[in-house]
Structure 1
């Protein structure tokens, strides 16, 4: 999956709008805050999916709610994995640069 497409899918699920270009003056703290936010959202989405599954097993939840929650958790996990892959790739490219 294309990382940009994954980020846009995640933004659509979360109901937020993805910026088209980085804001001026955003430094390391902004990137760190964004990563912390995305990881927190992924954790919350996964916990919500687990809660929906548990309620469905107990006969209190709807199968549609479970499928929706699991799909949302999967999309957020794919986004995090795509960002991780891009960061690793960028790091490897930097390490290959001649000094």
Structure 2
């Protein structure tokens, strides 16, 4: 299971990559990407990975793909799903902490 620190590092790496891609090299400030868009992208990538894994399993059962390729695709999909779940859990935990704060 992914630790909160690992999830935070993954988010930081995604922000850094988005800023690098968005920087035209002119040195101007780049607005940080929207957290919702990052989550949506992660969910879309997880769905694609899951569909690829399912496709590889079907191909392997039909004898059209190697077992190791199917296992690798399933493992990749599982890791991505665990990452998304860890991020979701941290967001829920942060929301609950905010709701407990006195006004």
Query: What band does the TM-score fall into relative to the shorter chain?
Result: 0.7 to 0.9
- 2: distance between equivalents of 1:7 and 1:66? 30
TM-score by length of 2: 0.75
> Any unmatched runs of 5+ in structure 2?
20-29
Indicate the structure (1 or 2) with the bigger Cα radius of gyration.
2
In the superposition, the TM-score normalised over structure 1's length comes to 0.78
The structure with higher relative contact order (CA 8 Å, sep 6+) is 1
Q: What residue in structure 2 maps to residue 65 of structure 1? A: 69
Q: After TM superposition, where is structure 1 displaced by more than 4 Å over at least 4 residues in a row?
A: 19-24
How many residue pairs match? The answer is 91
Name the SS of the counterpart of 2:84 in structure 1.
Answer: helix
Using the alignment, how far apart are the partners of 2:87 and 2:96 within structure 1? Answer: 14
